[in-house]
């Protein structure tokens, strides 16, 4: 595993300027990479997009739909029976009313059991924001210098990480993992 220091910038020109400052201070091109991190929920981890397979707020929706079908069918049958009795309409009207009631009830039941999604991360844990990330492959001796240069260049959310650095890139970067802010404490050797 390699030590990595990264900082987030709002624009590519700002990130490129920070990279130039790193190069001026002795960092080599194969140890610096820039890439864009999409906003949360837009990382296309699934074939149809998104970061998760299902919305956590919909976990109780099937139960609500089941209850809604039952209640809606009963209410629809009662309404259909009343229409049948009052207007002498065909019995088919009662059946159709029960079906429509079941459909509306399932929809209302599912929606009533849909909750506002909880935050996907712990409130105490920092969240990764969108932007241009400048990642620097560092050694124990150069990590503080890289963090300082990124910070002085306008970098936000300066973080340290442990990852695989291959062919001049942070190859196992995961945008869903929360960043580990530097905040003055840099990791020690991981050997």
- pLDDT bin (cut points 50, 70, 90) of residue 178 is confident
Residue 184 confidence (pLDDT): 62
Structure tokens at 55: 């919305």
Query: Residues 31-54: pLDDT tens digits?
Result: 999 999 988 766 565 566 666 666
Residue 57 confidence (pLDDT): 75
Average pLDDT, the chain: 85
Residue 19 confidence (pLDDT): 97
CA distance 162 to 69: 51
Query: Residues 41-93: pLDDT tens digits?
Result: 665 655 666 666 666 778 788 888 888 889 988 898 898 888 888 888 888 88
Share of the chain above pLDDT 70, in %: 82
Domains of the chain: 1-40+130-191 (3.30.70.260), 56-112 (no CATH)
- Asked if residues 177 and 43 have their Cβ atoms less than 8 Å apart, the reply is no
Strand 165-166 and strand 169-170: the pairing is: antiparallel
Nearest to 134 by CA among 111, 117, 159, 110: 159
Q: Higher model confidence: residue 109 or residue 5?
A: 5
What stretch of H or E contains 136? Answer: strand 131-138
> Which of helix, strand or coil describes residue 179?
coil
- pLDDT bin (cut points 50, 70, 90) of residue 25 is very high
CA distance 37 to 148: 22
CA distance 65 to 102: 9
Query: Given phi > 0 = left and psi -120 to 50 = alpha, else beta, which region is 160?
Result: beta
Query: Residues 113-166: pLDDT tens digits?
Result: 887 655 544 555 667 889 999 999 999 999 999 999 999 999 999 999 999 999
What stretch of H or E contains 72? Answer: helix 61-87
Residue with tokens 């207007």, as numbered in its chain: 87
Share of the chain above pLDDT 90, in %: 46
φ/ψ of residue 137, rounded to 5: -80, 120
CA distance 83 to 93: 8
> Which of helix, strand or coil describes residue 143?
helix
How many other CB atoms sit within 10 Å of the CB of residue 96? 15
């Amino acid at each position: 595993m390699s030590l990595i220091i990264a900082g987030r910038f709002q624009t590519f020109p700002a990130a490129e300027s920070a990279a130039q400052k790193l190069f001026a201070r002795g960092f080599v091109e194969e140890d610096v990479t820039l890439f864009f991190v999409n906003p949360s929920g837009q990382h296309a981890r699934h074939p149809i997009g998104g970061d998760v397979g299902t919305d956590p707020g919909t976990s109780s929706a099937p139960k609500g739909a089941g209850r809604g079908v039952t209640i809606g069918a009963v209410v629809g049958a009662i309404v259909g029976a009343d229409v049948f009795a009052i207007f002498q309409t065909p019995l088919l009207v009662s059946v159709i009313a029960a079906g429509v009631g079941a459909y509306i009830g399932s929809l209302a039941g599912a929606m009533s059991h849909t909750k506002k999604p909880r935050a996907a991360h712990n409130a105490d844990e920092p969240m990764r924001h969108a932007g241009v990330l400048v990642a620097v492959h560092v050694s124990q001796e150069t990590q503080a210098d890289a963090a300082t240069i990124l910070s002085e260049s306008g970098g936000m959310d300066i973080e340290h990480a442990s990852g695989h650095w291959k062919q001049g890139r942070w190859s196992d970067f995961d945008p869903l993992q929360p960043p580990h802010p530097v905040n003055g404490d840099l990791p020690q050797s991981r050997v």
